[in-house]
Structure 1
Amino acid sequence: MSLPRAELLTAAARFGTPLYVYDAAELDAALARVRAAFGEARVFYAMKANPNLTLLRRLRAAGVGFECVSAGEIARAEHVGASGDALLINGPAKSAQEYAAGAQLGATLIVDRAEEVGLLPPRSKALVRVNPALAVSTHDHLATGAASSKFGVTLEQAPDVLRALRAAGHDARGLHVHIGSAIREAADFSAAFARVAELRPQTGNLEVLDVGGGWSVGADLPGIAREARAAAAVFGAQLWVEPGRYLVAQAGTLLTRVVGTKRTGRNFLLTDAGMTELLRPMLYGAQHPVTALWDDPQPETAGERWDVAGPACESGDLLARDVCLPSPHPGDLLAIAEAGAYGASMSSSYLTRSRPAEALWDGSDWILIRRRETPQELWAAEEIG
């Protein structure tokens, strides 16, 4: 968490909680790390991590393109001025609307199955997504390069799909491989790149090798980049990368206030944020750093262990388990870090809860970049009679 405690307290007082806050400097720093590691590689932001328009505009102004997986994300990309070679369309089950929108914008379409060759608009630009069939160091739900996952074609199928694209008059630009998200071991990427490179005798040189993203926050980025560049060189290809979580996770923090406490065999710290604001702990077992922003009345004590629990009537509505915190009181503020990715983007209106506001620290002041929804807005689409 890079922002000072005083600024976080100010944001919560100004905009209320639950609240997502972002540090523009940390976003810029993450992008700088990617570019330093991958050099001349073209960078596409995986928009699903966080599609807030202010963040998208900042990234677009820095020359970043977008990887989109829905008609809505394509519309967001167009809205902030992305088209042509600044746009990738991905996904295992694209709709006719998504094919058409991508083609109209001149995007590169990522072919996820052989049958897609016959579904692409005429003379489409395309990459073939390859599944290297690897077990990787992440949660099963995040492992997209496993043999059992729904993504991509097999290594054996990839050359035939490339040939079929060319025979159909499409611009088959190259290969795409993305093995998952929040992957901890650099060796997983090395293994994937090596397997894809073995296709060179069958594919010949390619224009593009897209190695996706999925690097954990603490990954050995220079080491991964060296392996990726080597794989691209095998094909004589330009290297493309698609960071999502890596760019925005550390830039974002969820602020939530203590509602109360409960001791029933375990110590529960009850907060005004829960699974509707941050689903990752319940969905993936994700662990986010939790920091108390209140003064410890007994700073020499280590505090107690708490399960941080949200307001939903769901046993799994826990933001953190067994964290050590000083003695809490109603109204105290907690900061849940590394929440910039898949936090706000996965938030929901379950229980008719209004999704949280979002604010950006630009280095001198807070800017509201998404206002909190009202209950009336949540049911407005239902008033059709």
Structure 2
Amino acid sequence: MTIPHPALYAAAERFGTPLYVYDAAELDAALSRVRAAFGEARVFYAMKANPNLTLLGRLRAAGVGFECVSAGELARAEHVGARGEDVLVNGPAKSAQEYAAGARLGATFIVDRAEEPGLLPPRSRALVRVNPALAVSTHDHLATGAAGSKFGVTLDQAPEVLRALREAGHDARGLHVHIGSAIRDAADFSAAFARLAELHPHTGDLEVLDVGGGWGVDADLPGIAREAQAAASVFGARLWVEPGRYLVARAGTLLTRVVGTKQTGRPFVLTDAGMTELLRPMLYGAQHPVTALWGGGEVTRWDVAGPACESGDLLARDVPLPGPTPGDLLAIGEAGAYGASMSSSYLTRSRPAEALWDGTGWTLIRRRETPQDVWAAEVTPA
């Protein structure tokens, strides 16, 4: 993130904290890195990473399509003008509403189980998601290509599912694989692509090979891209990719103020943001960089803890900080993905505002909720 510290202070003063801020330049740069690595591959943004409409509109204007996993995400895609081959419908348990919405938009469906050819709307475009049954270098909850995960069909099932799609009158475009998120080792992708290539004798040439996303923010994209392109060439297929976290993680920062400090068995700095604003540390053991936006004082190590009455409400452990005092501002990095999108109103906490930095100034792209917003959908009996 390249937003200068004075601008971050200005945002915190103007919009309050906790606050999600996004750097437009970093979002654009991440997309440029993907396109430089993958060349002519078609890019679909995995919307679950961050569905803010302003960010979606920016990606849409750059020619990016969307991978959607719910009726709500499909509605967002339609709202920013995406239709037809610019929309993918994914998920292991699609509802009738989601099939109908996808059909109305003319989307491509990613088939996740053997029964699904009989559930698709008539004459659908489809890809078959294959589970390569690999152990990969990420948290178990993020490993979607493991043998025990709920995603995809087996390698043995994939050719038959392609045949079933064609026999049902659908346009079976090709294969799809996504082995997880925040994957650190490029060899995991090489292994997955190699297993897909083994299917060629049983499938013949295909129109599309969709290799998903899941690359860590420090991944060797050119190396991964070479492996993906080699796999696509085996099938004579066009390459599709679905980055989510890679595009938006480093573009986003969570700003939070210090509420106070305390010492129990460990030293804690208490902040006004916590698990309701950034769930990943509690859910996945994710480690986010933490930067103190103040100077001075002896540097000692602190656990950064939020306000929820939950022992797991920790944003980071053993963070070196220079003498935190109430009101000081912390920047939690790599929060552009699965920060706002996983935020919650647990404890009737109001979800934070979101703001976009364009290099010269701030634009509010989501206002802070009020308590009334949180309970607006509740029905009080007369």
* TM-score normalised to structure 1 length: 0.98
- The C-alpha deviation readout for 1:198-251, integer Å capped at 9, x for no partner, is 000110000000000000000000000000000000000000000000000000
2:120: which partner in 1?
120
Contact 2:3/2:359, CA 8 A, preserved across alignment: no
1:317: which partner in 2?
313
1:91: which partner in 2?
91
Distance (Å, rounded) in 1 between the aligned partners of 2:240 and 2:321: 43
1:336: which partner in 2?
332
The CA deviation at 1:2 is 1.9
Distance (Å, rounded) in 2 between the aligned partners of 1:271 and 1:152: 40
1:247: which partner in 2?
247
Distance (Å, rounded) in 2 between the aligned partners of 1:342 and 1:269: 23
State yes or no: 1:264 paired with 2:264. Answer: yes
Opposite residue 150 of structure 1, the aligned amino acid is K
Opposite residue 341 of structure 1, the aligned amino acid is A
1:152-301 aligned within 5 A: 152-296=152-296, 298=297, 301=298
Distance (Å, rounded) in 2 between the aligned partners of 1:224 and 1:211: 10
The CA deviation at 1:119 is 0.3
Opposite residue 348 of structure 1, the aligned amino acid is S
1:358: which partner in 2?
354
Distance (Å, rounded) in 2 between the aligned partners of 1:343 and 1:130: 28
The CA deviation at 1:295 is 2.2
- The C-alpha deviation readout for 1:175-199, integer Å capped at 9, x for no partner, is 0000000000000000000000000
Q: What are the ranges of 5 or more consecutive residues in structure 1 without an aligned counterpart?
A: none
Distance (Å, rounded) in 2 between the aligned partners of 1:384 and 1:156: 53
State yes or no: 1:326 paired with 2:342. Answer: no
Indicate the larger mover: 24-33 or 260-269: 260-269
1:103: which partner in 2?
103
Distance (Å, rounded) in 1 between the aligned partners of 2:265 and 2:149: 39
Contact 2:130/2:152, CA 8 A, preserved across alignment: yes
Distance (Å, rounded) in 1 between the aligned partners of 2:96 and 2:327: 49
Q: What are the ranges of 5 or more consecutive residues in structure 2 without an aligned counterpart?
A: none
Distance (Å, rounded) in 2 between the aligned partners of 1:264 and 1:318: 15
Distance (Å, rounded) in 2 between the aligned partners of 1:380 and 1:170: 42
Distance (Å, rounded) in 1 between the aligned partners of 2:357 and 2:281: 25
2:57: which partner in 1?
57
2:35: which partner in 1?
35
SS in 2 for 1:233: helix
State yes or no: 1:10 paired with 2:10. Answer: yes
Distance (Å, rounded) in 2 between the aligned partners of 1:201 and 1:368: 53
**Percent identical:** 85
Distance (Å, rounded) in 1 between the aligned partners of 2:380 and 2:309: 30
Distance (Å, rounded) in 1 between the aligned partners of 2:13 and 2:338: 24
Kindly tell me the number of residue pairs found equivalent between the two proteins.
381
Distance (Å, rounded) in 2 between the aligned partners of 1:226 and 1:46: 21
Opposite residue 171 of structure 2, the aligned amino acid is D
The CA deviation at 1:364 is 1.2
Distance (Å, rounded) in 1 between the aligned partners of 2:251 and 2:286: 17
Contact 2:344/2:351, CA 8 A, preserved across alignment: yes
SS in 1 for 2:126: strand
Pick from 361, 364, 369: which aligns with 1:368?
Answer: 364
The CA deviation at 1:363 is 1.4
The CA deviation at 1:384 is 4.4
Distance (Å, rounded) in 2 between the aligned partners of 1:36 and 1:377: 42
Opposite residue 346 of structure 1, the aligned amino acid is M
SS in 2 for 1:364: coil
The CA deviation at 1:383 is 3.3
Distance (Å, rounded) in 2 between the aligned partners of 1:78 and 1:376: 28
Opposite residue 375 of structure 2, the aligned amino acid is W
